[in-house]
Amino acid sequence: MAFHFSRDTKVFMKFKGTVAGSDDALYEIPVLDGYSFSQATNSSEITLSEAADSSGNSKRGRAMFNDSFAPAEWSFSTYMRPTTSSSSDTYASNNHAGDSKTFAVEGPLWAAMSATSYALGVGASDTVTVGTFEPKTFNFQNSNKVALGVFDLYFVLGAAKDTATSLYTTGTEGVTIYKISDCSVGSASIDFDIEGLAQVAWSGQGKKIKEVTQLKTTAGATSPAVTGEESTTKGLINEGISSTSNYIRQKLTSLAIAYDVDTTSGSGTTSDGEAQLTADKTYSVVLTGGNITIENNLTYLTPETLGSVNQPLGHVMGTRTVSGNFTCYLNNVADGSMDLLEDLHEATDIITNSFALTFNIGGGSGNRVAVALPKAHLELPTHSIEDVISIDVNFHGLPSDLSSATASSSANEISLVYNV
């Protein structure tokens, strides 16, 4: 008997239904401890409730029926890891990007959350040009779709101890392979733990969990050697995973805040001889923590046919929401946190304020990710009374023009740029 340890698990993903198989590669996703995946059933219950018969007996039983499978649920966390690719082209020698181009190790997840393919996720056409492919910018401008990137997830239990890394086989060397088919990313959350490394918490759903026989990591999709073998045309992409120089230190993270009077709804006010939000203004605050969360609010559709156990068919997207918060100490430096607090409280005639927020995760040089929200609505800050008094500001990323037919205006709530 062999036990499975979570530390020995490897996770892989493979895009589905892309143009000309351009994304038909197996991307390894290095996950942190605490990953999960599960699937439940939706059941109905029939109960009996009747009065006593002539003998004083009353039927009190019940029956259960499986109506459908609920969508599979999955979640895990990854580090944010900007990396420079080697001199080979994309897909060659397990390369993630083109010759010496920048990429994110977890980039396929950002692409799946924001587009229907990896190439579209970085704003390109739906074709990967192997020599120049540089998947480092994710701007969500191809995300106004009913359905977004669909991919398969593979959780290979025991993979870290398997010596046959070109072909994982269930039942061999303590390996068990679970596949979640037709997955979609529902949520991505970035926390600002200034004492740690930059991370993203991912969660989503899929159609079905099943055990598969084999997972081939070498290039060349072939007829399965055995029933249940999974393979890809391009093979395994795992560049940057073994590197120890592509992590981001959160302690270096900074925030730039710029008020934009032209995109604000309503007007600022002048009180106590001071103008509150009547003109463009920048603020300087030093972060102590915070969070950015992107939600697709997806729903998996499942039939309700009587007399059968229905299966999830696929997903549709709901409202895209970008929200979060940041915390900082309350201080009286010029255009600091106290001025931001006062301006927001005093500007009582502003209906929707507009601030450009740029979170420079990791600072302004070296390994870093710039997360930009060009139009953020800030709520009134709240005080946090501790040894050092601080404020907590909630914000919401909004598109430039909600009704625009142009993606650059109607789907530009947030963008992420990875750099090294």
Q: What pLDDT, in 10s, does the model give residues 71-129?
A: 999 999 999 999 999 988 889 889 999 999 999 999 999 999 999 889 889 876 777 88
| pLDDT for 1 | 59
Confidence of residue 3 (pLDDT cuts 50, 70, 90): confident
- Output the average pLDDT for the chain: 91
pLDDT of residue 20: 47
Q: State residue 205's pLDDT score.
A: 96
pLDDT at 271 over 60: no
Query: What is the reported pLDDT for 22?
Result: 54
Q: What is the mean pLDDT of residues 245-273?
A: 85
Q: Which residue has the tokens 């200034």?
A: 194
Q: How confident is the model at residue 40 (pLDDT cuts 50, 70, 90)?
A: very high
Q: Tell me what the mean pLDDT of segment 5-13 comes to.
A: 95
In this structure, which topology does domain 250-419 adopt according to CATH? Pnp Oxidase; Chain A (2.30.110)
The answer on pLDDT for 183 being more than 90 is: yes
pLDDT at 18 over 60: no
Give pLDDT, residue 272: 59
Q: Is the pLDDT of residue 268 over 70?
A: no
Q: Would you say residue 254 has pLDDT above 60?
A: yes
State the pLDDT at residue 407: 75
Between 389 and 220, residue with greater pLDDT: 389
Give percent of the chain above pLDDT 70: 95
Selected residue with higher pLDDT from 197 and 407: 197
pTM of the predicted model, to two decimals?
A: 0.92
Q: What is the pLDDT of residue 215?
A: 94
Residue 221 has pLDDT above 70, yes or no: no
CATH 2.30.110 residue ranges for the chain: 250-419
pLDDT at res. 222: 64
Range 382-406 average pLDDT = 91
Question: Does position 59 have pLDDT exceeding 60, yes or no?
Answer: yes
In this predicted structure, what is the pLDDT of residue 273? 54
Q: Does residue 138 carry a pLDDT above 70? A: yes
